[in-house]
Structure 1
């Protein structure tokens, strides 16, 4: 219970510090950079996911074709 309270207090202090830092021009510039990098990272993850999904769908389609050919021969 004590560790949860300490964690909550740490989160609250961190949010307060970030809010105060965001009020300065340097802080705004810092958070804009962080936001930009986070969006770039999430975009790369989404692109990778979509590419892998397309590869897997193509593999499944190929497998279905092979199964259909085997059934036709049997």
Structure 2
């Protein structure tokens, strides 16, 4: 129970720090880069998933 409390406190502190960092111009740029990278990665994973699904459907 004590560990769960510390995890929850850590998450809250992390969100608060991220919010403060995002208010600065450098922080906003950082989060924009992270967001773009995340979207590119998830897009590549989704494309690969669809491609592999198409391969499996045609091999039957």
TM-score by length of 1: 0.80
Residue 37 (structure 1) shift: 0.0
Structure 2 CA distance for aligned equivalents of residues 51 and 36 of structure 1: 22
Structure 1, gaps ≥5 residues long: 61-74
Residue in 2 aligned with 1:13?
13
RMSD of aligned residue pairs (Cα, Å)? 0.4
User: What does residue range 1-74 of structure 1 map to in structure 2 within 5 Å?
Assistant: 1-60=1-60
Residue 3 (structure 1) shift: 0.4
TM-score by length of 2: 0.98
| Count, aligned residues | 60
Structure 2, gaps ≥5 residues long: none
Give SS of 1:9's match.
Answer: helix
Residue 59 (structure 1) shift: 1.1
Residue 41 (structure 1) shift: 0.1
